[in-house]
Structure 1
Amino acid sequence: MSALRTLRQLTATSTRAFAARQVSTVSRRVLPTLGARVSAPQNIRTLSVSARRLGEGATDLALSQKLQEELKYEKESEQSHPPDFLTAFQAQGVWEIQDVLGNDEVTLTRKFGNENVRLMFSIADIQAEEEDFASNESESDADSEGEDDPLNSYPIRASLSITKTTAPGCLNVDMVCQEGHFVVENVSFYNDAKLGTDLTAESDWKRRGTYIGPQFDTLDIGVQEEFEKFLQERGVNEHVALFIPEYAEYKEQNEYVKWLGNVKAFVDQ
């Protein structure tokens, strides 16, 4: 959820509290009169039908209505076309985006000579950061004194794998994407390309038992610099580092809307 949605929820809570006091006052004055006009058996029969339509719980209807309100708000805020940053990224024709609705991981793939390059990142990292942003918003505003915070400054972990069609093995690079830059943490090599690229639990377990290489920042400065140039040449650059946080937010919003619809449909059955 975005910080704007969190702020809207806080405002809605205050409004609901005020409205509840008004309803309580009106209810004490009006309900006795209404009760005299409507017989008890009719009232009970109406509530029973509503409960059966929305499952067995007495709270199903209220939850369904709140989910519908949130779903309506989010859909009204949706763009009818892909955002400009996504259109511009795809127009370059360098990376192919593999994104499955319902999964929290996104994969970027490309060819570079005889190499297959795969860059993966997850939207899970941005969820905790949004919660921290919402709770610390007042403090941040007081400290900023008119200065803008860096756009998309929260870190997102990314994993790069490079394999070759003419040679065995796989080169894996663990990185953090933040503020338009990739920070390399470590570089590992696997003799078996399948072991280095397979996403199964079995392969992940096997990788944990292999040597993953030294921490990148402990390498000779010259080696670090040349390796960074190696990544830049393969398109792992500032442009992609700026794209990843934007796309992560875009995907998280789409996943949230889908989640609302799925939960509401389940409650209504």
Structure 2
Amino acid sequence: MIRSHLLARRIATSMAAPTSSISASSSAIDVISRKYVHHPVLSSAITSPPPLVAAPSITAANSLNSLPLRSFSSSSARKLGSILSREIAEETEASYSSPGELPPELAELHSAISQDWTILEGITGMGGGGGGTGSGASVRMFKKEGGSNGAKIGIVFHCQDTEEDSLFNENELYEDQAADEEEQEDEEETTAVRFGVTVSKGGKTVVMQCRSNGEEGDLSVESVAVRDGDTESVLLALAGGEGLHASLYQGPEFTELADDLQEAFQTYVEKECGIDGDVAAFIAMYADYREQEEYVDWMKTAVGVLA
């Protein structure tokens, strides 16, 4: 039976050959036809020509191809918009304050800090009173009173320049040491915020990169560098993400300095610059607040453009 099928396909192929070859093989086909006319498989292959298939319409094919693309595109946009809108609603509902309104604890601290500091959001504008415009991701602070030697003092930080800081708090041991001899430790995740402190005088600025270790108000100095320019220009450059020029000397490795020199820098930041525990706590809390505000604004902009 397999051979019969193969022979049938060969016969069908020969019947579909060009006209020039049909006359040459017509006698052979007649012989085969008479011989296999009663064969159950070959008779249908010999007597029935291959069916003709109409070519598909180009216009119809293009229409079929374009419809699913438009459908998928609008469907994906609706889905993305729906998810973004859901996230916006959830973040707004979970917030302790209305958009643009400081949480009560932060508002109280902001009011206290503003007595000694001018606080600006954004990377343009120099004066106080809301002179800062643009994104509120970068925050600058200017001390209203200069240092003891007449130097101008400023602070700059970015709401995303943070990292998780693991604090290990040692629990008290159980009174029954036989029951539990291992020391228990609880790990608490807090957010540390990096910020720069600038001290400017005579067209030169010392930039001390510091770190506020969470809302407890602890701070530490991590590096000290020198730049040209006054407080306003250096703070604006740092807020704009320029950082310290790679071509300039970046200062010594701070941890390799003498211990008493490290402590002296730390004391200078706290006492002379007026960056006490309240200011450090404000930086950590305000960075968290600004990051949340920027995140919601980011989603609102995305849903307006993409959906």
TM-score by length of structure 1 reads 0.62
Pick the structure with more helix per residue: 1
Report the counterpart of residue 151 of structure 2 in structure 1.
115
> What secondary structure is seen at the aligned counterpart in 2 of 1:176?
strand
> What secondary structure is seen at the aligned counterpart in 2 of 1:265?
helix
Which structure would you say has the larger RCO, counting Cα contacts within 8 Å and 6 or more residues apart? 1
User: One-letter code of the match for 1:236?
Assistant: I
RMSD across aligned positions (CA): 3.5
Q: Distance in 2 between matches of 1:244 and 1:200?
A: 16
1:89-238 alignment, distance < 5 Å: 89-92=109-112, 93-100=115-122, 102-113=135-146, 114-126=150-162, 129=164, 147=186, 149=188, 153-164=190-201, 167-179=202-214, 180-193=217-230, 196-197=234-235, 199=237, 204=242, 207-233=245-271, 234-238=273-277
Number of residue pairs matched? 200
- In structure 2, do the counterparts of structure 1 residues 202 and 117 end up closer, same or farther at CA, with 3 Å as the change threshold? closer
Aligned match for 2:282, one of 238, 243, 262:
243
Q: Distance in 1 between matches of 2:185 and 2:265?
A: 39
1:76 maps to 2:93: yes
Report the counterpart of residue 31 of structure 1 in structure 2.
none
Report the counterpart of residue 39 of structure 1 in structure 2.
none
Q: Distance in 2 between matches of 1:240 and 1:107?
A: 13
Q: Distance in 2 between matches of 1:202 and 1:104?
A: 10
User: One-letter code of the match for 1:91?
Assistant: S
Aligned identity (percent) is 23
User: One-letter code of the match for 1:175?
Assistant: C
- In structure 2, do the counterparts of structure 1 residues 198 and 261 end up closer, same or farther at CA, with 3 Å as the change threshold? closer
Tell me, yes or no, if the aligned pair for 1:85 and 1:243 is still in contact at 8 Å.
no
> What secondary structure is seen at the aligned counterpart in 2 of 1:149?
strand
User: One-letter code of the match for 1:124?
Assistant: Q
Q: Distance in 1 between matches of 2:244 and 2:259?
A: 31
Unaligned ranges ≥5, structure 1: 1-47, 133-144
1:262 shift after superposition: 0.9
1:235 shift after superposition: 1.6
Q: Distance in 1 between matches of 2:135 and 2:229?
A: 30
Task: Say which is worse superposed, 199-208 or 249-258, in terms of deviation.
Answer: 199-208
Aligned match for 1:65, one of 82, 101, 107:
82
- In structure 2, do the counterparts of structure 1 residues 90 and 265 end up closer, same or farther at CA, with 3 Å as the change threshold? same
Q: Distance in 2 between matches of 1:184 and 1:64?
A: 44
Tell me, yes or no, if the aligned pair for 2:121 and 2:135 is still in contact at 8 Å.
no
Q: Distance in 1 between matches of 2:222 and 2:268?
A: 15
1:212 shift after superposition: 2.4
1:190 shift after superposition: 3.0
1:258 shift after superposition: 0.9
Report the counterpart of residue 137 of structure 1 in structure 2.
none
Tell me, yes or no, if the aligned pair for 2:220 and 2:266 is still in contact at 8 Å.
no
Q: Distance in 1 between matches of 2:303 and 2:241?
A: 37
TM-score by length of structure 2 reads 0.55
1:88 maps to 2:104: no
Q: Distance in 1 between matches of 2:264 and 2:230?
A: 23
Tell me, yes or no, if the aligned pair for 1:171 and 1:196 is still in contact at 8 Å.
no
Tell me, yes or no, if the aligned pair for 2:139 and 2:239 is still in contact at 8 Å.
no
